[in-house]
A and B are shown apart, each in its own frame.
Chain A
């Protein structure tokens, strides 16, 4: 179990520290799983971008060879 800090800001900007919010083990587990999924998603996006870049470069090289720019 963990806690989350809780603050209140009034209309005048005054900050009041409220009692911590208790975070259950279940919520902690969900949060960790979500962070892992987000990281996995970032990696998939990165791999997707790398693959797209590879395809683009291959097409570019073929085009340059056909035009005689590359041997």
Chain B
């Protein structure tokens, strides 16, 4: 009674009610440390480097319908340069799997708040990774928080918080399924979140 059993796909069965395993960040042979359920945020900006897919972990607790993503460009890219956005389902290593939705190209060549329509998409209760790639370097508004135990640098130290997950990729359509992130940056703040969703149906 009250015993947790994990099945082969990382689900747990607790008292007859199925839940989704929180998972923990892992890339290659490196497992990130975790403190389950630890939240918190600070606001800042994040300079995005062209030629990388940046991933942002989120956990959807109940099914929702989304129809827009918003970013705020605080330092613009070059004239005509754009960004692309997508959402992937994530496995228990917090690595991307099937693409759920992708946006049209987003203009980032001007300092502005930019709302980009998304095809209405249902996100079920699950782990997801929001992804963004920029054609030219730009700085975006960001909140830094860690809703789920995404992880901390295995070496701890004064800067243990994983703030960015990314993989090198030339600018273009975001792949489906997603490309595994293989690089982390650690700091004293938490995961970078620079993409904000509009939930049409909560």
Contact = CB atoms under 8 A, between A and B. Distances in A.
A34 B104 CA distance: 32
A13 interface: yes
A4 interface: yes
Nearest to A37: B44
B107 A9 contact: yes
Interface string A3-42: 0111111111101001001000000000000100010010
Nearest to A41: B188
Given A15-B107, A38-B45, A9 B112 contact: no
Secondary structure class of chain B's binding surface, majority of residues: strand
Contacts of B117: 8-11
A5 B112 CA distance: 4
Given A34-B44, A38-B44, A38-B45, A12 B104 contact: yes
B45 A6 contact: no
Interface residues of A, number: 17
Nearest to B113: A6
A7 B44 contact: no
B100 to A, nearest CB: 15
B52 to A, nearest CB: 21
A4 B43 CA distance: 18
A18 B105 CA distance: 18
Contacts of B72: 4
B196 to A, nearest CB: 14
Contacts of A11: 104, 117-119
A48 B188 CA distance: 13
Q: When A and B form their complex, which 3 residue pairs have the shortest distance between CB atoms, in order from nearest? A: A5-B112, A13-B104, A9-B116
